[in-house]
A and B are shown apart, each in its own frame.
Chain A
Amino acid sequence: MRLVELLGVLVRHEVEFVVVGGVAAVINGAPITTSDLDILHRRTPENVRRLVAAVTEIDATFRTDSRKIRPNESHLLGPGHALLQTTLGVLDSLGTIETNTTYEDVLVDTFVTEVAGLSIRALTLERLIKVKEQAGRPKDLRMLPELRATLAERNRR
């Protein structure tokens, strides 16, 4: 997984997105591991066009479909999750998170940080904890003790 390179492709194509999931946890300082990049993308026609251009450059296909279907604008304009395999690794591009929460809804709980010279917007640790609590899946719940401990340690400093 070439994570930083993958983020670089999205930034170069001027895609508006928020890093969510495990990579957001790592950006926030939680020492966890994950195997994919989850982003919440803005679902305007212009942004989805840029996103399609970005993922086309890295040969994205739906990894849950053996027909190797390539994502197009109609796939990414909806609220669903596009689970993609790319030449740079696994990318999940989400139209919404939680119960229909959009890019615009979540902006207030994000921050921009520099990663290898790229300006990357990520979910705050506080909001990420709420997202994981609400998701309630075993893999989300397993991550919670480390996220909460990271938040407590950061607040202690």
Chain B
Amino acid sequence: MSDERDANEGGTGDDATTLPLVNEDGVDLTLIRWSLGLTATERLRVLEGHMEFAEMVRTARRDAAR
């Protein structure tokens, strides 16, 4: 998803022009900034959505194997 990004590449907006998009370990810092901007409730709702999707995929794969 972010393979083509340069670690020192800026984005749009004043803050983004000076902040790296990924760190030296390859961690997507934009996702972290986005997550830190959410409330704890919103973060857990996002996680619940991921869990629900993963469960849906697991169920679909199980059903397809039958």
Q: Count the B residues whose beta carbon is within 8 Å of the partner chain — how many?
A: 26
The reply to whether A153 and B29 form a contact with Cβ atoms under 8 Å apart is yes
Complex: chain B residue closest to A116, CB-CB: B41
Given the interface pairs A1-B48, A3-B48, A26-B47, the reply to whether A146 lies near B27 with Cβ below 8 Å is yes
Interface pair B51/A1, CB less than 8 Å apart: yes
For residue A69, CB closer than 8 A to chain B, the reply is: no
Q: 8 Å CB contacts to A: which residues of B15-30?
A: 23, 25-29
In the complex, chain A residues whose CB is within 8 Å of the CB of B44 = 3-4, 23, 26-27, 115-116
| Least CB distance, B26 to chain A, in whole angstroms | 7
Number of A-B contacts (CB under 8 A): 76
**Which chain A residues numbered 26 to 41 have a C-beta less than 8 Å away from chain B?**
26-27, 29-31, 33-35
A120 to B27, CA, bound (A): 28
Contact yes or no, B55 A1, CB < 8 A: yes
Q: B6 interface residue, CB < 8 Å from A?
A: no
B11 CB to closest chain A CB (Å) equals 15
Q: Do B48 and A27 touch across chains, with their CB atoms under 8 A apart?
A: no
Of the residues B23, B27, B29, B51, contact of A89 by C-beta under 8 Å = B51
In the bound assembly, the distance between CA atoms of A157 and B37 in angstroms comes to: 11
A residues near B43, Cβ cutoff 8 Å: 26-27, 29
CB distance from B36 to the nearest CB of A (A): 4
Closest chain A CB from B8 CB (angstroms):
16
Is the beta-carbon distance between B29 and A149 smaller than 8 angstroms?
A: yes
Measured between C-beta atoms, what is the minimum distance from B41 to chain A in Å?
5
